Structure 1
Amino acid sequence: MTDNLSHVSGVAKRYASALFELAEEQKVVEPTEVDIAALEKLLGESADLVRLVRSPTFSSDEQIGAMSAVLKKAEIGGLTANFVKLVASNRRLFALPDMLRGFHELAAAARGEVTADIVSAAKLDEANVAALKAALNKATGKDVKINATVDPELIGGLIVKVGSRMIDTSLRTRLNSLKIAMKEVG
């Protein structure tokens, strides 16, 4: 099961796998995924929360107390809350974001989904995302979830990564290749 964790390694992979197995056993994969998404949103919005998670200067009791308050305020309970408290008590809170990402990957794999990371120079409109999703669904034979990000330094084109496969059609890469070829000629 841990082979599905392409972006996660080490301790985070073991914790994500354990959480997923418990969620499956208790038949709470979907609610757990909703809670995890809410927690990821909080981490994305709060620099203080990220500091608490990453900093080794806080004791495990301080981390457990702070995380308990955050979870209660966000109305995240059950398996997810118990998991986060366990992670904090084991002094592994620094790996929590990877653990959460790992859980998503396992849940998606269990549903037969695969995630495609798409980087573009400008924000893609819904029609472009739908066309990419359809093309990737056909190419992979699986239901593809799109994770789109923007990197203006690409200048144009796309970078598409599905699992270990990557297609880079960005203008930046093409210009760099041309630059290297020109150096070899001259």
Structure 2
Amino acid sequence: MTADVERDLNTIEGFLDESSDLDRLVKSPAFSAEEQVAALSALLDKAGIKSLAANFVKLAAQNRRLFVLPGMIAAYKMLLAEKRGEVTAEVTSAAPMSDAHASALKDALSASSGKNVNITAKVDPALIGGLVVKLGSRMVDTSLRTKLNSLKFAMKEVG
């Protein structure tokens, strides 16, 4: 049952990420609870989501708490990962990582942390190159932007 709920919540999270209209429906107080429930019920039925996750989303809508749905999904995923002994690393790179690089990074982070590491990849072209890796309370910034800023600061101190 946990796998069904996780899969369905991931699907709902994907819908929220992909659709600005759905995001507006979820976050806007302009829509009544009845409108939100009706719209989400239609979406969930069309997507084939009829599990506990569907009931949870509808209950959040009925109680006017739909605006915190993304946070509730994230909290559920964190609890589930903790139960499985997993941690999530947020990795930001200047360009999208290849599957081989992501796999190698995942293996290295798993070896250093002693836990199974999942990677959430983000792209920020402003980094110019390198990576910024956040794993729990630790952060390693090997980006070219940071190195250039450090060099610029050092040059100001000298001159």
The answer to whether the superposition gives a TM-score over 0.5 is yes
**Counterpart in the other structure of 1:23:** none
Task: Find the residue that maps to 2:121 and give its secondary structure.
Answer: strand
**Counterpart in the other structure of 1:116:** 89
Q: Alignment identity in percent?
A: 58
1:88 counterpart (61, 65, 69): 61
Task: Find the residue that maps to 1:115 and give its secondary structure.
Answer: strand
**Counterpart in the other structure of 2:38:** 65
Task: Find the residue that maps to 2:90 and give its secondary structure.
Answer: strand
Q: Which amino acid aligns with 2:127?
A: L
1:172 counterpart (145, 148, 152): 145
Task: Find the residue that maps to 2:69 and give its secondary structure.
Answer: helix
Q: Which amino acid aligns with 1:46?
A: S
1:105 counterpart (78, 81, 103): 78
Q: Which amino acid aligns with 1:130?
A: S
**Counterpart in the other structure of 1:184:** 157
Q: Which amino acid aligns with 1:152?
A: P
User: How much has 1:29 moved relative to structure 2?
Assistant: 1.3
Task: Find the residue that maps to 2:133 and give its secondary structure.
Answer: strand
**Counterpart in the other structure of 2:25:** 52
**Counterpart in the other structure of 1:35:** 8
- Which residues of structure 1 form unaligned runs of 5+? 1-27
After superposing on structure 2, the runs of 4+ consecutive aligned residues of structure 1 that deviate more than 3 Å are: none
CA–CA distance in structure 2, aligned partners of residues 176 and 74 of structure 1? 48
Verify the 8 A CA contact 2:4 2:51 in the aligned structure 1.
no
Task: Find the residue that maps to 1:123 and give its secondary structure.
Answer: coil
**Counterpart in the other structure of 2:114:** 141
User: How much has 1:185 moved relative to structure 2?
Assistant: 3.1
Alignment of 1:127-166 (within 5 A): 127-166=100-139
Higher relative contact order (CA 8 A, sep 6+): 1
CA–CA distance in structure 2, aligned partners of residues 77 and 118 of structure 1? 33
How far does the alpha carbon of each residue in 1:77-120 deviate from its partner, in whole angstroms, 9 at most, with x for none? 12101100111111111111111111111111111111111111
Q: TM-score, normalised by structure 2?
A: 0.95
Alignment root-mean-square deviation, CA: 1.1
- Which residues of structure 2 form unaligned runs of 5+? none
Count of residue pairs brought into register by the alignment: 159
